[in-house]
Amino acid sequence: MEQPDFEKILSKVTALVEANPDDLLLRICTLLKEEVYHYDWVGFYVLDPAKNELALGPYAGKPTEHTRIAVGKGVCGQVATNCQTMVVQDVTQIDNYISCSIDVQSEIVAPVLKNGRFVAEIDIDSHSPAPFTPADSQFLETVCQLVANKF
């Protein structure tokens, strides 16, 4: 498996952010899903502080029934709590894992921080076992920084 050219993809994300289309987040999800072979589902969850939940925003991939996730629950909820990127190379090893599909083998979630506060996150599911590297984390954290002002 060839490593994705994250620098090239990041330049495409930057161009989208600068163009600022109405469907920016959906375009980013679609771009990432198309450009990175091991990104099988890409979506944003947005914090709903009134309910202390994450609400599903734009995504690319199969529909999911997980449209709302309690802060603290599952990988997405933990990232909302600790504001740190979380990489799970084998989802069967996580006690409170919320499965979106039986095909998902691994997951990475990176927080979107605006003025140092958690506002959203990008969630990536992969059907590949243990595909994520530190380059994925760095790439997704940069994407999150680029979109932070959109929240």
Q: What is the pLDDT of residue 43?
A: 97
Calpha distance 145→14 (Å, rounded): 11
pLDDT per residue over 95-143, tens digit each? 666 666 678 889 999 999 999 999 999 999 999 999 999 999 999 999 9
Asked if 36 and 13 count as a contact pair (C-beta separation under 8 A), the reply is: no
User: Distance between CA atoms of 53 and 33, rounded to whole angstroms?
Assistant: 25
Q: Burial-class residue 112 by CB neighbours within 10 Å (0-12, 13-18, 19+).
A: buried
Domains of the chain: 6-150 (3.30.450.40)
What pTM did the predictor assign?
A: 0.94
